[in-house]
Structure 1
């Protein structure tokens, strides 16, 4: 439990330091930080959407293969 608590406290301290530094920076520097965050958010959203599309493609392929195998089994069962 001690390591978890220390880790959380460290993250809070880093966050507080970053917030303090952000508030003391010039408006141009603040805008640069905002732009970096927005760029990172957009990249993360794009990556997530790409991952979601690939997962849907794989699921669709798996479903079609399952349907083919099911049809094959039904054909074989009807011929017996």
Structure 2
């Protein structure tokens, strides 16, 4: 797995120091966290419990299109986030 990530430029392996994300890896990680947060917030606005929303978002974030993700985000912005 690490060799594959290194081969596509997402990580750098430094002997005796560890494994580090490259700038491209950091960008991908940020985008993944952002997708997860949009899906989780959408589920929370719908009234899904926080624990279930977190778990469901883990799977859903990888399977929704950019169009659907944008719609989730617009819905959340229009109808509020958890705690509002």
| Fold-level similarity (TM above 0.5) | no
TM-score by length of 1: 0.35
RCO higher in structure (CA 8 A, sep ≥6): 2
Q: Taking structure 2 as the reference length, what is the TM-score of the superposition?
A: 0.34
Q: Which structure shows the higher strand fraction?
A: 2
**Which structure dedicates a bigger proportion of its chain to helix?**
1
* Higher alpha-carbon Rg: 1
